[in-house]
């Protein structure tokens, strides 16, 4: 999986949003599949119009590591963005990260539906909540 900085650079290189959506879908396709038992009520993200699951593999003060999946192609790409943005950071880094500012670099908010924006916000909330519990 590419770093968020690499993804942002790739977004800047692409000419239009049709290409960026295709790239986002490709990012989602690169995610490893979750096992059936990992798609549970416990791992489901509330507030997403599509089904989204986040599985936290490691939750410590020094490292938050997670995987995810969705039943919708673009949303799965958004899950990949969240993984690139937050995974592998310390709990304090996750809490301090201004994700909206980071996502503004790729002008995401103006190009996804309000429902998808709500889903991204729900994913960020879940990730930051998990990080806060680790501190």
Query: What are the C-alpha distances in Å from 108 to residues 9, 33, 38, 78, 117?
Result: 13, 25, 28, 10, 9
As annotated, the active-site residues are 48
Structure tokens at 105: 């670099």
**HSE-CB of 45 using CA atoms within 13 angstroms:** 34
C-alpha span between 69 and 10 (Å, rounded): 22
């Amino acid at each position: 999986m590419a770093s968020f900085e690499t993804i942002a650079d790739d977004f800047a290189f692409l000419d239009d949003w049709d290409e960026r959506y295709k790239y986002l879908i490709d990012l989602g396709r690169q995610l490893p599949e979750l096992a059936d038992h990992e798609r549970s009520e416990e791992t489901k993200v509330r507030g997403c119009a599509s089904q989204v699951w986040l599985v936290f593999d490691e939750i410590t003060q020094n490292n938050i590591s997670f995987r995810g999946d969705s039943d919708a192609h673009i949303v799965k790409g958004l899950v990949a963005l969240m993984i690139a943005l937050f995974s592998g950071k310390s709990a304090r880094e996750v809490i301090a990260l201004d994700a909206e500012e980071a996502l503004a670099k790729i002008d995401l908010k103006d190009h996804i539906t309000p429902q998808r924006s709500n889903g991204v916000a729900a994913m960020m909330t879940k990730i930051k909540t998990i990080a806060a519990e680790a501190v």
